Amino acid sequence: MKYLLWLGVIAVVWWVWSKRQAAGSARPARKTPPDAPPKAAPEAEQMVRCAHCGVYLPASDSLTKDGDFYCCAAHQAAGPAAGSR
Ligand SMILES: [Zn+2]
């Protein structure tokens, strides 16, 4: 009969513990830090620099001419800045 009592105590402890675990997992703040994404960052695209004005932009948004990157058609037509470095 003594073992049955212990079994009951263990069952209650396990039930409370599992309830706490469920409540803890409901809060996402503890398990997943916001600044540590498990997958690759979506902004992993290569950034290029406009040869005319020096602004940085995604490679897919840039225009190219003679191996240089430009942010817009106007700067592409203007070409590299004369005094850039
Ligand atoms: Zn530019």
- CA of 41: how far to CAs of 30, 31, 38, 72, in Å? 21, 19, 9, 26
C-alpha 27 to ligand 1 mean position (Å): 45
C-alpha 54 to ligand 1 mean position (Å): 6
pLDDT tens sequence across 10-62: 899 999 999 888 887 665 555 556 666 566 656 578 999 999 999 999 999 99
- Helix (H) / strand (E) element for 69: namely strand 68-70
Q: Is the pLDDT of residue 75 over 90?
A: yes
Q: What is the pLDDT of residue 69?
A: 96
Q: Is the pLDDT of residue 84 over 60?
A: no
C-alpha 1 to ligand 1 mean position (Å): 84
Residues less than 5 Å from ion ligand 1, measured at CB: 50, 52-53, 71, 75
pTM: 0.46
